[in-house]
Amino acid sequence: AYADTYPQVEISLHCAASPELAAALAAGMIDLAVIEERVGPSAGECLAVDRLVWVGARGGAAHRKRPLPVSMVADTCAFRPAVLSALSEQGLEWRTVFENGNIDATTATVRADLAVTTWLASTVPADLDILPSGPDLPALPNFAINLHLPKYGTEPAAREFARHIRDGLARRQVAA
């Protein structure tokens, strides 16, 4: 395990929107970042590709309301530009129900059928529905989960932690 190999290293995990993580990496505030980005050219290493999907309450009706009630975790969410573009292209009106950077609060608004949200398909909780695209909801693009390391100089401990992330995600994909 990583902790056995590097017992002197203290890990601090920072959970933030992908653009915020990219900025923290560029500023040297963090040693590596796992970032969700639209599939395409990236400075990072692609660890996985997943479908961006609409998510709603089990048996809910929020996805049929107009304007469409949408709850995103934060206004800096990596999915936001793709979601808003897809809604605009399909001519669907929408409104923000909740945005405050808290995924638990976003999940609660969806479970209560107050709004829909978008997540990567592999992260949707079992008690929520993946909603099909169609007249009520536009199709969404795939997103990559990319590992980013600093452009200049990565410490051995950070390189090893990156390897553990790669290996862990590879094991997860094999199990799925």
Q: Are residues 100 and 166 in the same domain?
A: no
Q: Are residues 101 and 125 in the same domain?
A: yes
pTM above 0.85, yes or no: yes
Q: Are residues 28 and 67 in the same domain?
A: no
Instruction: Give the pLDDT confidence score for residue 43 in this predicted structure.
Output: 86
Q: Are residues 28 and 86 in the same domain?
A: no
> For residue 151, what is the domain's CATH number?
3.40.190
CB-based contact 54:141 (threshold 8 Å): no
Helices (H), the chain: 2-5, 18-26, 80-89, 103-111, 156-175
> For residue 107, what is the domain's CATH number?
3.40.190.10
Q: Are residues 155 and 126 in the same domain?
A: no
How far is it, in rounded angstroms, from Cα 82 to Cα 56? 18
Q: Are residues 17 and 67 in the same domain?
A: no
Q: Are residues 98 and 156 in the same domain?
A: no
Instruction: Give the pLDDT confidence score for residue 25 in this predicted structure.
Output: 94
Number of domains in the chain: 2
Q: Which residue from 49, 48, 51, 52 is spatially nearest to 169, judged by alpha carbons?
A: 48
Residues paired with residue 48 on neighbouring β-strands, in sequence order: 145
Instruction: Give the pLDDT confidence score for residue 174 in this predicted structure.
Output: 54
Instruction: Give the pLDDT confidence score for residue 67 in this predicted structure.
Output: 98
Instruction: Give the pLDDT confidence score for residue 176 in this predicted structure.
Output: 52
Q: Are residues 27 and 58 in the same domain?
A: no
Instruction: Give the pLDDT confidence score for residue 125 in this predicted structure.
Output: 96
How far is it, in rounded angstroms, from Cα 52 to Cα 120? 5
Q: Are residues 82 and 160 in the same domain?
A: no
Instruction: For the chain, 176 residues long, give each residue's pLDDT as a single digit of tens.
Output: 788 888 898 888 888 888 899 999 999 999 999 999 999 888 899 999 999 999 999 999 999 999 999 998 888 889 999 999 999 999 999 999 987 778 899 999 999 999 999 999 999 999 999 999 999 999 999 999 999 998 877 788 888 999 999 988 776 665 55
DSSP H helix total and E strand total for the chain = 5, 7
Instruction: Give the pLDDT confidence score for residue 172 in this predicted structure.
Output: 65
Q: Are residues 123 and 60 in the same domain?
A: yes
The residue range of the domain holding 92 is 50-142
Q: Are residues 58 and 80 in the same domain?
A: yes
Instruction: Give the pLDDT confidence score for residue 60 in this predicted structure.
Output: 98
Q: Are residues 112 and 148 in the same domain?
A: no
Instruction: Give the pLDDT confidence score for residue 64 in this predicted structure.
Output: 96
